[in-house]
C-alpha cells in the first residue's frame, strides 16, 4: 500500500487501472481494524494497486475527494476507483478482506 498526501499525488495515479483507496484515521480503533483488513487484502492481491491517506495528515485531500466525487466523508472509508469514477465505496465495519475480495471479483 502506498500512502498519498496530496491531490497532485492522487492525480498522478494511473486511473485507467482500477485501484482501491482507503481514508484512514490514526486515532480510531475501527480505522486500525480496517487498515489491517485492507493491508491483508493488498498483500494477497498485489495486482490491484492500493493506496491510502491518513485523515489527520492529509485533511485537504480527504475533503477534496469527498467534494470531487460527491461522496460524504467518513473514516475509515474505502473506494474503488477507475477512469476517474467511484465504482464502489463503503465505510467502517464493512471494510473487510472478504468484502474487498468480493468487490474485486465483481467489478474487475
Q: Is the pTM of this model over 0.85?
A: yes
CA distances from 11 to 52, 56, 64, 87, 100 (A): 13, 20, 12, 17, 23
Confidence of residue 85 (pLDDT cuts 50, 70, 90): very high
Domains of the chain with bracketed CATH = 2-107 (3.40.30.10)
Q: Nine-digit cell at 76? A: 475509515
CA distances from 59 to 51, 62, 106 (A): 16, 5, 31
Q: What is the pLDDT of residues 16-73, one digit of tens each?
A: 999 999 999 999 999 999 999 999 999 999 999 999 999 999 999 999 999 999 998 8
Amino acid at each position: 500500500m502506498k500512502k498519498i498526501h496530496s491531490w497532485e499525488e492522487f492525480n498522478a495515479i494511473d486511473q485507467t487501472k482500477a485501484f482501491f483507496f482507503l481514508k484512514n484515521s490514526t486515532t480510531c480503533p475501527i480505522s486500525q481494524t480496517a487498515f489491517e483488513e485492507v493491508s491483508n487484502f493488498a498483500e494477497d492481491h498485489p495486482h490491484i494497486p492500493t493506496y491510502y491517506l491518513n485523515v489527520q495528515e492529509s485533511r485537504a485531500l480527504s475533503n477534496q475527494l469527498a467534494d470531487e466525487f460527491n461522496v460524504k466523508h467518513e473514516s475509515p472509508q474505502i473506494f474503488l476507483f477507475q477512469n476517474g469514477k467511484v465504482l464502489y465505496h463503503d465505510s467502517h465495519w464493512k471494510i473487510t478482506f472478504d468484502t474487498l475480495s468480493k468487490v474485486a471479483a465483481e467489478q474487475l
